[in-house]
Structure 1
Amino acid sequence: MKALILAAGYATRLYPLTKHWPKPLLLVKEKPIISHIAEKIDNLNGIDEIIVITNNKFFHYFEEWAGHFTFKTKISVLNDKTTSEKDRLGAIGDINFVLNNHAVDDDLLIVGGDNLFSFDLKKFVAFAKNKNNDCTVGVYNIKDPSLVKHYGVVTLDDENRIIRFQEKPEYSDSTLISMCIYYFPRKSLESVREYVRKKDCHDTSGDYISWLHKEKNVFGYEFEGVWYDIGDIITFYHASVTFKE
């Protein structure tokens, strides 16, 4: 099994903090966000490589970070060659880039580089491996219906299969939102390439899940604990305070 951390965005909503510094390397509890993520992945059984996909602007920052990574798992940093918000590949575009340029032929755990969470990933991976499916999505109950308009919202059936996906709806009867934590079994990686061939929009992973759950078996796994999607300065501040406590 390999893990992929998505870190190729330009985080314009966090300017000026991220104008010259990548968001996943912002410090929380005196440690980069990406280190919190990598430590969780490093604790998993069966992981033989952590791949970080970033852009040309911040590539050398992540290479330097990887050089100081002292855990047991091998780290590889890839450059998607983009230089700005205008030419970025998007989440699915970057996943496709990794599949085509790093010879990934294994189960793949994917985590967004701006996720900060308290829970480990072991039960999620075990759940995903136990399902005969094409993707398992980490989901989180935000409990507040007024917040669903900011997220991709999922509805699960009794077997935790995703039966509905709504991208940033004004209203939903579900408060389960899709996180940028995914498990793709090896057999399903070709579906990413198929999506890229068929669709023009490769930006958000939510668009891909919205398409995939209509074509294949996609399951949701509900995480419990503290989770932040570091999308703006206010959220970054709240996360920093919470994780210092």
Structure 2
Amino acid sequence: MKALILAAGYGTRLEKDIDADESGKFFSLVGIPKPLLLVGGVALVSRWIRLLEAAGVTEIIVVTNDKYFDQFSKWSVDFENVKLLNNGTRSNEDRLGAIGDIHFAIQEQTINDDLVIVGGDTLFFEDFDLRDLIEKFEVRKREDSGSFGGVVLRYVCSDDETTRRGILEIDKSERVIDFLEKPLPRMTSSRNACPCFYLLSQHGHSLIGQFLDERRDRPLREKDAPGNLVLYVCQRLAMFAVEISGRFDVGCLSSYVECDRYFTSKENKI
């Protein structure tokens, strides 16, 4: 199994929040890509490297863009097992989108293995157990490898969060039967939010090229929201959900502050 960390975003929402913040306390964060922001004194992406290595995943690919490539290059010198890829884009307007970045990395590295896909602006609560999750993935895969697409995560969100989250609908066996992108609360009874963290089998991620070909002339937003890939795969292969207690989505300044406070408190207890 290999890992792919998506770190090619431009953080436009966070930068707008920093510019609007009158305190000036966060001005030093301007120009730093979100995966390299310090949370609890450690770069967000470095925390993922720790987790992946501890779970036995030693081949890790980080895809970023041309604008931030130099910053990631300086960061990556401390990690011998990290392969850094530059997708060649320079702005939010010419980005490939999250699914495009996944496809770019798979082609560049000729990935034919099962794949952990990690959103580079996401962290989970301290009780998250990646090794246990991989074991659950392997069990599902052994049961029917030919029709198995992968494993995704779910956590319970509130009614007013559904319009900001991708929502899974699952059956009694935890199989994913639908994915709704930011639905109104009345559109589904499910409150299973699905973060950008997927364990895809080789069969699962082999569908990405087909997905993109079918949407070649569609708006970028369809290729940027990774939940669209979850929907596409679950309609063709079996995908299952595993529950976690919660996550941090470092998309805006308030969410960054919350995440940093959480991990700072954990580090101080060590």
TM-score, normalised relative to structure 2: 0.85
Identical aligned pairs, as a percentage?
A: 33
Task: Choose which of 171, 183, 200 in structure 2 pairs with 1:169.
Answer: 183
Matched, 1:122 2:131: yes
Partners of 1:204 and 1:146 in 2: CA distance: 20
Give the structure 2 partner of residue 222 of structure 1: 243
Tell me the amino acid that sits aligned with residue 176 of structure 2: I
Report the more deviating stretch, 3-12 or 159-168. 159-168
Asked whether the 8 Å contact 1:90–1:203 carries over to 2, the reply is yes
Gaps of 5+ in 1: none
1:173-230 CA-to-partner distances (Å, cap 9, x unmatched) read 1111111110111232211111111123311101111222222211111112x52011
Tell me the amino acid that sits aligned with residue 6 of structure 2: L
Gaps of 5+ in 2: 19-26, 266-270
Matched, 1:74 2:78: no
Matched, 1:147 2:147: no
Task: Choose which of 203, 207, 213 in structure 2 pairs with 1:197.
Answer: 213
- The Cα shift of 1:155 comes to 1.5
The number of residue pairs the alignment matches comes to: 239
- The Cα shift of 1:170 comes to 1.1
SS at match of 2:106: helix
Larger Rg: 2
Partners of 1:13 and 1:79 in 2: CA distance: 22
Asked whether the 8 Å contact 2:52–2:58 carries over to 1, the reply is no
Give the structure 1 partner of residue 24 of structure 2: none
Partners of 2:191 and 2:149 in 1: CA distance: 23
- The Cα shift of 1:103 comes to 1.2
Report the more deviating stretch, 26-35 or 204-213. 204-213
**Mapping 1:54-73, distance limit 5 Å:** 54-69=64-79
Partners of 1:93 and 1:187 in 2: CA distance: 18
**Mapping 1:93-132, distance limit 5 Å:** 93-117=100-124, 118=126, 119-131=128-140, 132=144
- The Cα shift of 1:127 comes to 1.1
Matched, 1:186 2:195: no
Asked whether the 8 Å contact 2:40–2:262 carries over to 1, the reply is no
Partners of 1:57 and 1:40 in 2: CA distance: 27
Q: Which structure features the higher share of helix residues?
A: 2
Give the structure 1 partner of residue 233 of structure 2: 212
Report the more deviating stretch, 194-203 or 56-65. 194-203
Partners of 2:234 and 2:205 in 1: CA distance: 14
SS at match of 2:84: strand
Partners of 1:156 and 1:175 in 2: CA distance: 10
- The Cα shift of 1:19 comes to 4.5
Matched, 1:134 2:159: no
Partners of 1:156 and 1:128 in 2: CA distance: 17
